[in-house]
A and B are shown apart, each in its own frame.
Chain A
Amino acid sequence: MEKLTVENFYKSRKSVFELTLFAGAGGLSKIIESREIQRPSMILMGWLKGFASDRIQVLGRTEMSYLQSLNREKMSEILDDLFKFDIPCMIVSKGIMPPPIMLEIADRKNIPLLSSKLATVDLMNKLATWLDVKFAPKVYVHGTMVDVYGVGMIYTGKSGIGKSECALDLVERGHRLIADDVIELRKQGDNVLIASGTNLLGHHMEIRGVGIIDIEKLFGVRAIRMQKRVELEVRLVMWEELPDYERIGIETKTNSFLGVEIPVVTIPVSSGKNLTAVSEVIAMNFMLKVYGENPAQTFVDRLNDEIRRKSKLQDYLKEDVE
């Protein structure tokens, strides 16, 4: 994973978090190693044990008003304690202007001191979400990601089996492409998998015999999406290479990406087969299951009832000797 520097953070989040860099610019190359955020109140009170100094430190109004209530000597003593640690950066919220002595120490210790105009709660929330994304485990998968009726489907299978062509067909029918060929999967929380493309790739796609096309240019914004939760894997395989595929649909196979289990539907491909219609059905069937309906199960239950009813009748008739 690429290292996340304070400079990356400052430059990319400057406008969203309404950040201003006040001091410690010499420390912009520092690396943010932790996804957590810390309020250093205990340090200000003089308790230095167990201080998580690898985290971004956020000082809110309470901390700042405490600091400002102190005389110059005491304030400088406490700040010296705080800045002794190798902190990646410090953010003062609510647009509070840090006292001059704090700027001076930050400059001396090369620890970036930023100020955000956001309220502390807001800043903490946004920062936590952003860090979660940045620190999320990632993996690249060869496949095609399409949003079909709002269901995130990742198509996998050998090169040339027709993943891109299937996606193109789906886009023509009003579904949306997330990315083709190289899919970045990111784990969010414990069991959510988010798929997106890469910057360079955008919504380009190679169609064999045609070359590289741009789905966004051809079909407009309605045909694309930047990211989507992965809900299903559709695995395309050659008809001949597949010994047994699901004929009824009551068993669900899953595949694990970054430890997140995703249901897999394996579809045998043959020429002349309409993958688009099948894809739409897969998506709708998935939604039915999410809403608590399972057509395959319902059918199997009905069949079992019928068999039971018949055998009961048989038993009754067998005893029926007059």
Chain B
Amino acid sequence: MVNLAVEKELKIKNKLGLHARPAMLLVQAATQFQSDIKIVKGDIEVNAKSIMGVLILAAEKGSIVKVIADGPDENEAVDSIAKLFTDGFGED
């Protein structure tokens, strides 16, 4: 049986984009899950559990990134990360 990964497209809502603080929140959220989690923006794909990876995406307000999770808790992982995005990482 093929176990498909869960993926979701998310939009950056907060004005400052995915800067250091939101990136840290994202990595903290991702690290709590066992699944492999990737963030894709354009042609760059990075590991969501690594701060450098998430930072170099330099995702600006309005840009779209894709979260891909694969593992035992993939659904929870994507939901938890999606929530951060919809809340604008607690910023304007």
A: which residues have CB within 8 A of B? 1-2, 138, 140, 142, 159-160, 180-182, 198, 200-201, 204-206, 212
New A-B contacts (11) at CB < 8 Å, excluding given A1-B43, A140-B46? A142-B47, A159-B47, A159-B50, A160-B31, A160-B49, A181-B47, A181-B50, A181-B52, A182-B56, A206-B52, A212-B51
Q: Are A198 and B56 in contact (CB under 8 A)?
A: yes
Q: In the complex, which residue of chain B has the Cβ closest to the Cβ of A142?
A: B47
The answer to whether B16 has its CB under 8 Å from any CB of chain A is no
Q: Mark B28-55, 1 if CB is under 8 A from A, else 0.
A: 0001000000000011111101111101
Q: Are A138 and B43 in contact (CB under 8 A)?
A: yes
B53 touches which of A1, A142, A160 (Cβ 8 Å): A142
B52 touches which of A138, A140, A160, A205 (Cβ 8 Å): A205
Q: Are B49 and A180 in contact (CB under 8 A)?
A: no
Q: Are B53 and A182 in contact (CB under 8 A)?
A: yes
List B contacts of A200 (CB < 8 A). Answer: 55-56, 58
- Minimum distance in angstroms from A31 CB to a CB of chain B: 16
List B contacts of A212 (CB < 8 A). Answer: 51-52
Interface residues on B, range: 10 to 19
Q: How far is the CA of A182 from the CA of B40 in the complex (A)?
A: 12
List B contacts of A2 (CB < 8 A). Answer: 42-43
**27 A/B residue pairs, CB under 8 Å, sorted by A:** A140-B43, A140-B44, A140-B45, A142-B47, A142-B53, A159-B31, A159-B47, A159-B50, A160-B31, A181-B46, A181-B52, A181-B53, A181-B56, A182-B44, A182-B46, A182-B53, A182-B56, A198-B44, A198-B56, A200-B55, A200-B56, A201-B56, A206-B50, A206-B51, A206-B52, A212-B51, A212-B52
List A contacts of B55 (CB < 8 A). Answer: 200
Name, among B45, B52, B55, the residue most crowded by chain A CB atoms within 10 Å (CB to CB): B52
- Minimum distance in angstroms from B48 CB to a CB of chain A: 9
List B contacts of A160 (CB < 8 A). Answer: 31, 49
Q: In the complex, which residue of chain A has the Cβ closest to the Cβ of B45?
A: A140
- Minimum distance in angstroms from B58 CB to a CB of chain A: 6
A182 touches which of B31, B42, B49, B52 (Cβ 8 Å): B52
List B contacts of A140 (CB < 8 A). Answer: 43-46
- Minimum distance in angstroms from B19 CB to a CB of chain A: 13
Q: In the complex, which residue of chain B has the Cβ closest to the Cβ of A199?
A: B56
- Minimum distance in angstroms from A123 CB to a CB of chain B: 29
Q: How far is the CA of A193 from the CA of B63 in the complex (A)?
A: 31
List B contacts of A159 (CB < 8 A). Answer: 31, 47, 49-50
- Minimum distance in angstroms from B53 CB to a CB of chain A: 5
Q: In the complex, which residue of chain B has the Cβ closest to the Cβ of A180?
A: B52
Q: How far is the CA of A142 from the CA of B44 in the complex (A)?
A: 11
- Minimum distance in angstroms from B43 CB to a CB of chain A: 6
- Minimum distance in angstroms from A250 CB to a CB of chain B: 32
Counting from the closest, the 5 A-B pairs by CB-CB distance are A159-B49, A181-B52, A142-B47, A200-B56, A201-B56
